[in-house]
């Protein structure tokens, strides 16, 4: 059944020729070197003021940093389906030497395209599969969630927090848990309620989720969804909330306590730099506050000075690498000890979190 032999070798020769030409072209004197073309595939619109917006901001930072050495192109609204492969292939065809895929769902297409375009480097956000020319990167959003929790725990009057959550993947569960742990570090009495909207982005539904949480007594809201609807619902009801993915303070001036902002710029600049100076290597990167990938910004002046000081201590500790969020003793909802006293969680543990910590109410959506 395999009649691909001659075709494959022809294609291989062509690729090899292209690579050789490419290498020759790239090794011309620095002044005459063609700028590195970088492609960005976005799952949403640039204007979503959330996930994609943050990626695009970093793209612009890369342009500012490297000036004439790079040119960037981007395609938004690339669905996490068959079409992604076409977009990626087209980027390769257009001569991109580095391509960023900004959502988990591109994993399959990226692996496929990476295997045929071996001279192009691929960066996949939040994924877990790597290849010689494909590596993954992620942001320790749970650190942002923890810091928000610290503020939330100190600001809540009902000791009930609420989280509007998207899809029950480990990342989101980890964020919910970290938020709760942060709150409990200043206020051991808090409990957290969760609603799952099963979408990353659906403003009306997010608003409804926020309303349901507030109806049940939550007075500080957190979200893992991408729009400002939750914060706006909090504003309307006179409660508090946080921004997520980007600075959302203007969407709820009275309600806003702080925004957990992802900053992809430090990593993007490094990735581009790696390609430009030839030191790009595959691997998996997970950056946090220390490297500047996540931060809690625009903390509201309403937050009392003592609480803000506590936050600053945590932040400084995270920056220095001396503060560990997931440090034992940590118990799950059923009271089982998941982290023994003094034990610090490693990345493997963090990646596999599939339980609620004590203090989070409700059941995890079944499925696994």
Partner 1 sequence: MGGLALMLAASVNAGTVLALAGLGLLINERAGVLNLGAEGMMLIGALAGYATALHAPGAGMLLGYLAAAAAGAVMAALFGWLAIGIGTNQYATGLALSLFGVGFTAFAGKPFVDRQLAERGRDGIPWLRDLPLVGPALFGYHLLVYLAVALAVGLTWFLFRSRAGLLLRAVGESPESAHALGHRVRAIRMLAVIAGGALCGLAGAYVSLAYTHLWVENLIAGRGWIALALTTFATWRPARILLGAYLFGGLTMLQFHLQQRGVQIESHLLGMLPYLATVIVLVLISRRAAWIRHNMPASLGRIFRPGT
Partner 2 sequence: MLRLVARPTPSRPLTLAAPLIAFALTVSVGAILFVALGVSPGRALALFFIEPLRGADAWSELSVKATPLALIALGLAVCFRANVWNIGAEGQFIMGAITASWVAMRATDTTHAAAILPAIALAGILGGAAWAAIVAFLRDRWNANEILVSLMLVYVADMLLGYLTYGPWKDPDGYNFPQTISFLPVTQVPLIADGHRAHVGLFAAVAVAIAAWLFLYRTYGGFQLAVGGAAPRAARYAGFSARRSLWTALLCSGGLSGLAGALEVTGPLGQLTPHLPVGYGFTAIIVAFVGRLHPFGILLASILMSMLYIGGELAQSRLGLPQALSGVFQGLLLFTLLACDALASYRILRVRRAVA
Whether 62 and 38 have beta carbons less than 8 Å apart is answered as yes
Task: For the chain, report the end-to-end CA distance as a whole number of angstroms.
Answer: 38
Q: What token pair was written down for 353?
A: 């979190």
- Letters for 38-77 (x = contact with partner 1 by CB under 8 A, - = none) are -------x-xxx---------------------------x
Nearer to partner 1, 119 or 361 (CB): 361
Nearer to partner 2, 44 or 252 (CB): 44
**Is there binding between residue 363 and partner 2 (CB under 8 A)?**
no
Least distance to partner 2, CB of residue 75, Å = 5
Q: Which does 315 bind (CB under 5 to 8 A by kind): partner 2, partner 1, none?
A: none
Q: Which does 39 bind (CB under 5 to 8 A by kind): partner 1, partner 2, none?
A: partner 2
Q: Which does 227 bind (CB under 5 to 8 A by kind): partner 1, partner 2, none?
A: partner 1
**Is there binding between residue 166 and partner 1 (CB under 8 A)?**
no
Q: Tokens 């810091």 identify what position?
A: 147
Least distance to partner 2, CB of residue 192, Å = 19
Q: 18-47: which residues touch partner 2 (CB under 8 A)?
A: 39
Instruction: For 135, list phi and psi in degrees, rounded to 5.
Output: -130, 165
Candidate residues 175, 224, 227, 263; the one interacting with partner 1 per rule CB under 8 A: 227
Stretch of 11-19, 28-36, 170-178, 207-215 lying at the interface with partner 1 (CB under 8 A): 207-215
- Letters for 57-86 (x = contact with partner 2 by CB under 8 A, - = none) are ----------------xxxxxxxxxxx-xx
- Residue 226: closest CA among 262, 192, 265, 250: 262
**Is there binding between residue 208 and partner 1 (CB under 8 A)?**
yes
Q: Which does 11 bind (CB under 5 to 8 A by kind): partner 1, partner 2, none?
A: partner 2
Least distance to partner 2, CB of residue 78, Å = 8
Q: Which does 20 bind (CB under 5 to 8 A by kind): partner 1, partner 2, none?
A: none
Instruction: For 252, list phi and psi in degrees, rounded to 5.
Output: -160, 70
Whether 257 and 196 have beta carbons less than 8 Å apart is answered as no
Q: 326-365: which residues touch partner 1 (CB under 8 A)?
A: 361-363, 365
Q: Which does 216 bind (CB under 5 to 8 A by kind): partner 2, partner 1, none?
A: partner 1
Nearer to partner 2, 50 or 258 (CB): 50
**Is there binding between residue 284 and partner 2 (CB under 8 A)?**
no
Q: What token pair was written down for 189?
A: 């009495």
- Residue 152: closest CA among 144, 165, 143, 161: 161
Candidate residues 33, 75, 212, 339; the one interacting with partner 1 per rule CB under 8 A: 212
**Is there binding between residue 94 and partner 2 (CB under 8 A)?**
yes
- Residue 229: closest CA among 197, 263, 261: 197
Q: What token pair was written down for 319?
A: 């920056």
Candidate residues 18, 64, 169, 324; the one interacting with partner 2 per rule CB under 8 A: 169
Spatial neighbors of 106 by CB under 8 A, at least 6 apart, are 41, 43, 78, 80, 84, 88, 124, 127
251 burial level (CB within 10 Å; 0-12, 13-18, 19+): buried
E strands present in the chain: 36-41, 70-75, 98-101, 121-125, 134-139, 160-165, 191-196, 220-223, 240-245, 256-262, 284-287, 294-297, 330-331, 337-339
d(CA 325, CA 340): 14
d(CA 94, CA 74): 12
> Cis link prior to 329 (omega < 30° from 0)?
yes
Please report, as ranges, the residues that interact with partner 2 according to CB under 8 A: 1, 4, 7-8, 11, 39, 73-83, 85-87, 89-91, 93-94, 104-105, 108, 116, 128, 167-170, 198, 351, 354, 365-368
Please report, as ranges, the residues that interact with partner 1 according to CB under 8 A: 45, 47-49, 77, 193-196, 198, 201-205, 207-209, 211-213, 215-216, 227-229, 232, 236, 250-251, 361-363, 365-366
């Amino acid at each position: 059944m395999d009649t691909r032999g001659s075709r494959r070798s022809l294609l291989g020769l062509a690729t090899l020729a292209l690579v050789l030409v490419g290498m020759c072209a790239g090794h011309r004197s620095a002044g005459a070197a063609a700028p590195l073309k970088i492609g960005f595939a976005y799952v949403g619109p640039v204007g979503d003021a959330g996930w994609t917006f943050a990626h695009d901001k970093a793209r612009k930072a890369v342009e500012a940093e490297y000036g004439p050495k790079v040119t960037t192109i981007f395609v938004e609204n690339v669905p996490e389906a068959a079409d992604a492969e076409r977009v990626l292939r087209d980027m390769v065809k257009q001569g991109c030497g580095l391509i960023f895929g900004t959502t988990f769902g591109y994993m399959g297409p990226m692996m496929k395209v990476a295997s045929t375009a071996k001279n192009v480097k691929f960066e996949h956000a939040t994924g877990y599969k790597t290849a010689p020319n494909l590596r993954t990167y992620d942001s320790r959003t749970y650190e942002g969630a923890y810091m928000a929790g610290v503020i939330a725990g100190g600001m809540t009057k009902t000791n009930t927090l609420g989280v509007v959550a998207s899809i029950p993947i480990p990342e989101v569960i980890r964020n919910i848990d970290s938020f709760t742990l942060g709150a409990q570090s200043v206020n051991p009495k808090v409990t957290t309620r969760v609603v799952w909207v099963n979408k990353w982005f659906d403003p009306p539904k997010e608003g409804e989720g926020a309303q349901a949480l507030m109806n049940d007594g939550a007075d500080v809201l957190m979200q893992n969804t991408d729009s400002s609807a939750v914060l706006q619902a909090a504003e309307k009801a006179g409660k508090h909330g946080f921004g997520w993915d980007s600075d959302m303070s203007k969407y709820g001036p009275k309600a806003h306590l702080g925004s957990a902002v992802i900053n992809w710029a430090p990593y993007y600049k490094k990735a581009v730099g790696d390609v430009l100076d030839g030191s790009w290597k595959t691997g998996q990167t997970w950056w946090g506050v220390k490297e500047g990938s996540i931060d809690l910004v625009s903390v509201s002046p309403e937050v009392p000075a003592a609480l803000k000081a506590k936050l600053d201590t945590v932040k400084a500790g995270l920056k220095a690498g001396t503060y560990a969020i997931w440090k034992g003793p940590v118990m799950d909802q059923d009271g089982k000890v998941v982290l023994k006293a003094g034990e610090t969680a490693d990345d493997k543990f963090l990646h596999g979190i599939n339980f609620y910590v004590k203090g989070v109410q409700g059941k995890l959506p079944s499925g696994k």
